[in-house]
Amino acid sequence: MRANGTSRREFLGWLSGIGAAAAAGSLMGSGVAAAADSVAVQVLRGVTLVDTGASPVRRDATLVLGEGRILAVGGRDLPVPAGAEVFDLPGKYVIPGLWDMHVHGAFLEKVTLPLCLVHGVVGFREMWGFPQHHDLRRRIEAGEVFGPRLIIGSAIIDGPDSVLPMALIVRTPEEARKAVRDSVAGGADFVKVYPFLDRVLLRAVADECRVLGVRFAGHASDHVPMSESSSLGQRTFEHMYGLPLATSTREAELRRRIAAMPLDPADPFVWFKGVREIEREAALSHSAVKARVLAHQLRRNGSWQSPTMVAMRVFSSPAAEFVGDERMKYMPPFYREYWAGQLARWSPVTELEIRQQREFFDARLRMVAEQHRFGVGTLLGTDTGNPYVFPGFSAHEELELLVRAGLSPMDALRAGTSEVARFLGEAAGAGTLAVGQRADVVVLDGDPLASIANTRRIHLVATRGRVITAADRVRMLAEVEQAALEPPVAGVARVGCC
């Protein structure tokens, strides 16, 4: 094995020899393959490919990675270039790298980024963007920091009130339009909206997004029906909020109650939580007919659901259930008090509250699966950064909850891979195990289609031209544990929201 990999001449000759001249031309045309005299190539041999694209499961296969792409897929006897790094992996399973489409906390780069990578999360959508996130993305793409790919949202736009003291509050349509313009000028990939926005303000946000050609996503407005928000252009609805109301036979009556609820600007959370209680009541009058009509509207408008079940499960459970979670060693110490304070306002306490919240959570899982069956796109998202929702770890919990809700293991995997690529408009270059796709893959010790819990059994991760082995994972986790003890970076906000 050559220490510096495969020579450029051998590499191109190998591609042509296996009938991949077109792929070679594509790589050369992109400028990817012309940067050095040698090519680092990794070969995963003897694996079972669990492709989330159209390809069937393929056993005893060989996957060749290099130049940031999947270069070849074949049988065990597939020729490989001289100098390639070969991993013989009989009995292992390969899936595409995962994405988490709802994350807070990229600013904790020594914690969030490595925890995502060691758990096979190769990209995520940062749902509350700040200038330091854009600088971090620049450093990641420049190779200065090893991290997942980032999609960065705007500052959260809400108003005329908000439960978030750091939200960008707007009170007039012009303020809403300006907030969108400023967000786009600051580099946001999309605009994040929040539930206090009324119809007038949400329309202003939507209109300015349309003018500027940018998407908006986030919470369902507590003042505007989901179907209307979808028609305005909202691309994702987070946390299952809005769904119980939108599918209730009592929606009109319950919306009148929401409109009549008093709001104390000194403590808007009381109003916000009051709406969640009305949504719990709405779930008791769920209509499959209304659900089908809603799904048709969401599909027609190109709106997706990102249910973040793992976070909603925490908020629906007694706080005592999370005391002693061993994963806290990977989080900065201030999170223990910070998360406890958040749950003190959220968690059910009495036996009745606990039972009601558990039943409500199960009802929302059924609604998510129902919308999925009706054809609404589903994205894996965790709401990492909120209480006991841990970077990387929780992506696998979310997969398990998607299956518990009623999705098949394959559909759950697609929610974090090929469906993400389709949502982002990258279906031709990411999310599956086809030749030409990005070389983002996760090797597992067990079959994820037999049990989705096997996605936790990670053997290695390949991304950005690097392979994270079992030994690397142990080292990286130890480094995160030490980094968590470092003093907080000055000026960095403790961001937590839903």
Domain count, the chain: 1
Q: 391 preceded by cis ω (within 30°)? A: no
Task: Please give the distance of CA 133 from its chain centroid, rounded to a whole number.
Answer: 16
Task: Please give the distance of CA 277 from its chain centroid, rounded to a whole number.
Answer: 26
Residue 253 lies in a domain: yes
For tokens 């031209």, name the residue. 465
Residue 410 lies in a domain: yes
Residue 27 lies in a domain: no
Residue 8 lies in a domain: no
Q: 374: domain CATH number?
A: 3.20.20.140
| Domain interval for residue 161 | 98-426
Residue 481 lies in a domain: no
Residue 321 lies in a domain: yes
Other beta carbons within 10 angstroms of residue 26's beta carbon come to 15
Residue 461 lies in a domain: no
DSSP 14-30: HHHHTT-HHHHHHHHHH
pLDDT in tens, the chain (498 residues): 334 477 767 676 676 666 553 344 444 444 444 445 778 999 999 999 999 987 889 999 999 999 899 999 999 999 988 889 999 999 999 999 999 999 999 989 999 999 999 999 999 999 999 999 999 999 999 999 999 999 999 999 999 999 998 899 999 999 999 999 999 999 999 999 999 999 999 999 999 999 999 999 999 999 999 999 999 999 999 999 999 999 999 999 999 999 999 999 999 999 999 999 999 999 999 999 999 999 999 999 999 999 999 999 999 999 999 999 999 999 999 999 999 999 999 999 999 999 999 999 999 999 999 999 999 999 999 999 999 999 999 999 999 999 999 999 999 999 999 999 999 998 767 899 999 999 999 999 999 999 999 999 999 999 999 999 999 999 999 999 999 999 876 555 555 556
Tell me the whole-structure pTM to 2 decimals. Answer: 0.94
Residue 166 lies in a domain: yes
